[in-house]
Structure 1
Amino acid sequence: MTEGLVTPGAGWRRADGPPAQAREKKRRKGGRRGGGRDGDPTVDEAEFTSYYGRPIIKPPVWKTPDVPLYLFLGGAAGSSAVLGAIADASGNRALTRVAHYTAGGGALASVVWLIHDLGRPERFLHMLRVIKPTSPLSVGSYILAPFSALTAATAGLQLLEAFPGLQRFGLRRISGWFPALEKLTGGVSAVFGGPMTTYTAVLLANTAVPSWHAPYKELPFVFAGSGMAAGGGICMAFTPVADAGPARKMAVAGAAVELAAMHKVEHDHGIVGEPYQLGRPGKLMKAARACTAGGAGLTVVAGRTRVGAAVSGALLAAGSLLTRFGVFEAGMASARDPKYTVVPQRERIAAREAARAASADGSEGNDVPTDEASTITR
């Protein structure tokens, strides 16, 4: 049992090695230390590895393409609902119809992809049993549910009004109420449309995933701008050019907001901005920037032509879709690599220690001098 171990004086040591206390002291020093010939380091730089190669945090179980498609469709639907209410208030019937169709179709499709990611439809219903104001997921469920119902109802009323042959089973008797009902459901859905475009960004930022959590201030602006670019671009592509002015303005403004906010996400957060620029997420974000910038520029130059509106709208929608995929993939990559968790933690610890040291130095500098203290005492 004790072969190879002796106890000379204090502590245990191996018979063929240095005392355990000395080995422990060396181990605690860690990092690079000059112990070799001519001061060469005997220990290499530390590598960012984790226990058995596992991620330090558990990556989300959300699937691709379900969640990125849900993010894209929800954002486009939310901005389209707002655009439809604005067009309805100004009497622009052509844009109103297209915007409400886009909002209703996008909302229903987003729910389908969300339920597909959840696995069973009843799981979505379970999220509506309790509302928890401190949970973005709970609040988001109560945004998505009424929004999708109202936008679907508004789009359905638009269809019944546009195709009277669908008005059966007594619906003709109440067809005179359709315009008022459209304004009511369309206006209320627009109230939920703004939160619909941004709550998913808050949901991502509320996780421990480094590349989602760090840019918690900028990510809602990215999603809002992306949703505006997609909704405006889709409505612009399917609306007559003479009536698509508000859609063009929304698309260009959304593209500008998205590009500016995404630049801050990539470059203002140190190492956690790397996943947005490297590997597959980096390629997706570069393609997204190209599509969004190209679509916005083409909208300004040729958006008042039929072909220009269609092409620029398609580019803006594609840019928004690629942005959602890029943000999703970047977050998943940062969750898998330990360094995106470890390095920011070390930086925060170093910043706190530096602040504590500066505070201590300041308090020492504010001490009363000895002569002055003796004078006060006397």
Structure 2
Amino acid sequence: MSGAEVTRAGLRGERPGSEALFGNGMNGGPDGGPDGGPDGGRRRGAREAAFTSYYGRPVLKVPHWAATDIAGYLFLGGLAGAGSVLAAGAELTGRRGTARAMKLSSLGAVSLSAAALIHDLGRPERFLNMLRVFKPTSPMSIGSWLLVGYGPLAGAAAAADVTGRFPRAGRAAACGAAVFGPAVAAYTGVLIADTAVPAWHEGHRELPYLFTGSAAAAAAGMALLTGPLPENGPARRAAVLGTAAELAAMHALRRRTGMIAETYRQGTAGRLLRAAEVLGTAGAAGAALRSRRSRRAAALSGAALLAASVCTRFGLFHAGLASARDPKYTVEPQRSRPGGVGRTG
């Protein structure tokens, strides 16, 4: 017991140095200020404590998605959608070899993309259940219906080209798939940005453009890799434009997201995204300078562009998981906003 007692005249018998301590067990300096100064008025409240979460646990539930399913789904959907645009352009300009190659690759990519999504869902009927409603404000609902509308058109275009039957219907299907193609390539960026994962949510402005540029570069790479050499002019131009758009969007994403941009530079995500920049730049340069006359250069450039797009999607996937694991990426950006925690008057 301290021996102090409360009387009508006040506290009697108290001992110096036994005052209650503020904050993390510190009243401040010897003069009462937070750093040893004479600012005794600060003793009324605690100093702003460094952020720690409850038992060091993540604030968000970290997604338990498999990288091969979700990152693969993001890559394959973009390749399919942008590939259909190139296929329709090649069809309408008489580049039959490129048109057939891109129709087949788009059909294969969207089929594998749907398989990856269904594998992640666990049971096929869960995908069918998403089609019970049409909700314009839900990226998941819109994306499900986009796949339902795009997939049959891509399949019909490829089947008509391979069999040679119903050429007019096949051309119409190819044009229809090209109409859906840009939305199929871009909506996955909107989809992941509509989550609470900090690295994805904070990048909601740039991710659709980043995904579209990456998809265009991947489709151009597929055309360079599989199409005839004399027909690869549009693919070479698409490779340069798509890579430039992807790099510009990635630069804007890192610049605008502040401290969350750390997740794009560190660990597995950082290594993958740096590899994507190197491969994309090399592939675009090879496509522009060497792919016109050299079949080997065209194939190498196409493979580099495809690999760059894969690295981009997997890098963004791992950056999102890293940001969800560390609670500071959830709380600190909220504090830094006007009116956020720790910033109020």
Instruction: Give the TM-score category using the shorter length.
Output: 0.7 to 0.9
* Of 285, 288, 312, the match for 1:300: 288
Q: Where does residue 370 of structure 1 map in the other structure? A: none
Name the residue aligned to 2:194. 206
Could you tell me which amino acid in structure 2 is paired with residue 282 of structure 1?
A: G
Tell me the CA shift for residue 235 of structure 1. Answer: 1.1
Report % sequence identity.
Answer: 45
Q: CA deviation at 1:185?
A: 1.1
Amino acid at match of 1:331: G
Matches of residues 17-166 of structure 1 in structure 2 within 5 Å? 18=18, 22-23=20-21, 26-27=22-23, 34-35=28-29, 46-161=49-164
Question: 1:164-220, CA deviations, whole angstroms, 9 ceiling, x for partnerless residues?
Answer: xxxxxxxxxxx3xx2111111111111110000110000111111111111211111
Matched with 1:367 is none
Would the aligned equivalents of 1:31 and 1:46 in 2 still touch at CA under 8 Å?
A: no
Q: Gapped runs of 5+ residues in structure 1?
A: 162-174, 358-378
C-alpha spacing 1:331/1:45, structure 2 compared with 1 (3 Å): same
CA distance in 2 between counterparts of 1:58 and 1:5 reads 50
Residue 267 of structure 1, CA deviation:
2.3
Assess if the C-alpha contact under 8 Å between 2:334 and 2:340 holds in 1. no
Alignment of 1:240-319 (within 5 A): 240-304=228-292, 305-319=294-308
Q: Supply the distance in 2 between the matched residues of 1:288 and 1:303 (Cα, whole angstroms).
A: 20
Q: Which amino acid aligns with 1:346?
A: R
Equivalents in 2 of 1:9, 1:290: separation in Å? 78
Aligned to 1:239: 227
Q: 1:334 aligns with which of 319, 323, 331?
A: 323
Deviation at 1:52? 2.1
Asked whether the equivalents of residues 75 and 224 of structure 1 are also in contact (C-alpha less than 8 Å), the reply is: yes
> In the comparison of the two structures, how many residue pairs are matched?
331
The structure carrying a bigger helix percent of its residues is 1
Residues 5 and 255 of structure 1: is their aligned pair in 2 closer, same or farther, counting only changes over 3 Å? farther
SS in 1 for 2:107: helix
How far the C-alpha of 1:279 sits from its partner, in A, is 1.0
Counterparts of 1:330 and 1:232 in 2: how far apart (Å)? 26
Task: Report the Cα offset of residue 37 of structure 1.
Answer: 9.5
Cα distance in structure 2, aligned partners of 1:229 and 1:18: 69
Confirm or deny: 8 A CA contact 1:132 1:139 kept in the other structure. Answer: yes
Distance change in 2, residues 1:9/1:81 (3 Å)? farther
Q: For the residues of structure 2 that align with 1:326 and 1:47, how far apart are their CA atoms?
A: 30
C-alpha distance in structure 2 between counterparts of 1:239 and 1:7, whole Å: 93
